[in-house]
Structure 1
Amino acid sequence: MRLSALIVGLCVAASAALPALAQNETVIKERQQLMKNNAKAARTASEIIKGSQPFDAATAASLFTTLNEDAKKFATLFPEDSKTGGKTEAAPAIWEKPAEFKAANDKFIADTQAALDAKPADLDSFKTAFTKVAANCQGCHQQFRQR
């Protein structure tokens, strides 16, 4: 009887601890997918700038649209239960400095929207717009990403 009571007690204690350990891997995967989308868009932009892919205004618009739409979703994907797990590279600074993180994401949204609004029609205007957009990446990664 004592052994079964002990087992029941341990199971109850363990199940009470589970919510504290649970991680929101769904949201982690979602934000990782958005970053993969951004990396693919950045690679394509780099290929256009280097000349290994021809400039096309529709492609340019598509790249900036992807970056803009993903940025609008991105800041919502950092609930408290997604700090660890799922091979996340999100730095603690995201939760420690939420206003700074939001400001960085808002700037990225504004810069990608400005690039969309500019409607680059040639390679030079695309380079100018993309350079401004890409400047956001390094600053955000340095502060809000861990490796």
Structure 2
Amino acid sequence: MKTMLKAALIASLSLTAMPAIVSAQDDPVEARQQSMKAVGKATGVVAGMLRGRADFDAMAANAALADMRAAVEGYDMLFPEGSEAFDRSEAGPTIWSDRADFEMKVAAFKSDLDAAIAANPQTLEALGASFGAVGQNCQACHEAHRVDRF
């Protein structure tokens, strides 16, 4: 039963990155929002373990890291000129006015996720060590390039 629950959790997490890929050409605003929702869902799995709200599960933690990475593949391309849509998005204007900084932060996030995935954390301590930089990148990008509108 426990194994089936783990498999279901991992399968559901793995599917969260797909909508962003599917709809990116049709609606980049929707695609990037779906991407961030997938990242948020996977981050919730990791954060739950790190904060002691969920038992550590190496398989689920590593799947969550992989899901975050899949969700942000091509993420910086989901902000083409003219897609500001400030009325329905929390994307800040600095994404377009300081594109180099935004792309640098996205690249750092991807790189740190790659490192966390390569570390293949098998203990809670290892997960915390590998996830620290990932979380810092999330915060840095949100502080610089996200606006709370809702």
SS in 2 for 1:80: coil
CA drift of 1:51 comes to 2.2
TM-score of the superposition, structure 2-length normalised? 0.77
Runs of at least 4 residues off by over 2 Å: none
Query: Deviation per CA, 1:73-102, whole angstroms, max 9, x where unpaired?
Result: 211100112111561111111111111111
Q: What RMSD in Å do the two structures reach over aligned CA positions?
A: 1.6
Most deviating of 103-112 and 59-68: 59-68
Q: How does 1:1-147 map to 2 (within 5 A)?
A: 26-84=27-85, 87-147=88-148
Q: Distance in 1 between matches of 2:111 and 2:84?
A: 26
Greater helix fraction, Structure 1 or Structure 2 = 1
For the 8 Å contact 2:39–2:67, the answer to whether it is kept is: yes
TM-score of the superposition, structure 1-length normalised? 0.79
Letter of the 1:104 counterpart: K
Q: Distance in 2 between matches of 1:115 and 1:60?
A: 10
Q: Distance in 1 between matches of 2:120 and 2:139?
A: 24
For the 8 Å contact 2:109–2:137, the answer to whether it is kept is: yes
Higher relative contact order structure (alpha carbons within 8 Å, sequence separation ≥ 6): 1
Counterpart in 2 of 1:11?
Answer: none
For the 8 Å contact 2:38–2:67, the answer to whether it is kept is: yes
Percent identity of equivalent pairs? 31
SS in 2 for 1:110: helix
Letter of the 2:54 counterpart: Q
Pair 1:133–1:48, CA change in 2 (3 A): same
Q: Distance in 1 between matches of 2:50 and 2:105?
A: 25
Consecutive unaligned residues in structure 1, runs of 5 or more? 1-23
